[in-house]
Amino acid sequence: MTLVEPLELAYHADMGHPAQAVPTFEALYEQIRALPEQMTGEILEPGILRTRSRPGRPHRTTQLAIVRSLDGFNRTLGSASWWIEVEAEIRFPLSRLLVPALSGFRVERVPDLPDENPIPILPDWCCEILSPTTDREDRTVKLPLFAKSGVPWSWIVDPVRHTVEVFETIDGRPALTAVAREEERAMLPPFGDLDISHFWLHRAEPAGP
């Protein structure tokens, strides 16, 4: 994760020396739009742009598998239940911009998902897929931020340890309500019974002598 510090300067009238000004959301979003295609930009704290490179193969495999497991819920594919989005830019309160690995919007609450970018509506579900460079931030920054902002359900998926952790937002905080491991079928709110055995990248065994 890379922090991009604000470049603008302002002067304290009473002190006479320069101090960093806080860039607006719009100014930071222009920087995000200018990033190379292989980079993602987020605003997790007002005025600070964070960038990261695109994820590796285990992350991509798990992401695609989860999307496919939710096909039966996906309004885009004909269901009446959810809009499922992949790495959508979503505007959160207090001039924040987050790009969850996956996000979902209940059709009963959002009959027509806006074409705007970033999406100005909070999701009903966010999913982060861990990688070595984002593990700490996903757990300690983004997960609490989802809950504090009012996202009802969040998942933390670990493609290395083969686990899915389900968190429900209770009183503005994420509460762990379910954990599924390895090859299990499990009840994973808000979607229900899912088979997670195909979520993981299973590498081929080395050939024998």
Pair 178, 145 in one domain: yes
pLDDT, one tens digit for every residue, the chain (209 residues)? 544 433 333 333 444 555 568 899 999 999 999 999 889 999 999 999 999 998 888 899 999 999 999 999 999 888 789 999 999 999 999 999 999 999 999 999 999 999 999 999 999 999 999 998 889 999 999 999 999 999 999 999 999 999 999 999 999 999 999 999 987 889 999 999 999 999 997 654 444 44
Pair 155, 171 in one domain: yes
Where are the extended beta strands (E) located within the chain?
2-4, 9-11, 18-20, 39-45, 48-53, 82-86, 90-92, 96-98, 102-106, 125-129, 153-158, 163-170, 173-181, 185-188, 192-195
Pair 60, 117 in one domain: yes
Residue 171 belongs to domain with CATH number:
3.90.1570.10
Would you state the pLDDT for residue 207?
A: 45
Domain final position from 54, 71, 88: 54
Pair 118, 141 in one domain: yes
Pair 44, 102 in one domain: no
What residues contact 100, with CB distance under 8 A and at least 6 apart?
87, 88, 90, 123, 126, 127, 128, 142, 146
Pair 79, 89 in one domain: yes
The owner of tokens 């860039």 is: 23
Pair 104, 160 in one domain: yes
Would you state the pLDDT for residue 126?
A: 98
User: How many domains is the chain partitioned into structurally?
Assistant: 2
Distance, in Å, from the CA atom of 109 to the CA atom of 190, rounded to the nearest integer, reads 14
Domain final position from 32, 54, 76: 54
Domain final position from 10, 25, 54: 54
Pair 160, 91 in one domain: yes
The owner of tokens 């709110």 is: 189
Distance, in Å, from the CA atom of 126 to the CA atom of 101, rounded to the nearest integer, reads 8
Pair 90, 35 in one domain: no
Contact criterion met (CB below 8 Å) for 167 and 177: yes
Q: What range defines the domain where residue 205 resides? A: 55-209
The owner of tokens 């700490």 is: 136
Pair 32, 73 in one domain: no
Backbone Cα Rg of the chain: 19
Pair 108, 205 in one domain: yes
Pair 64, 134 in one domain: yes
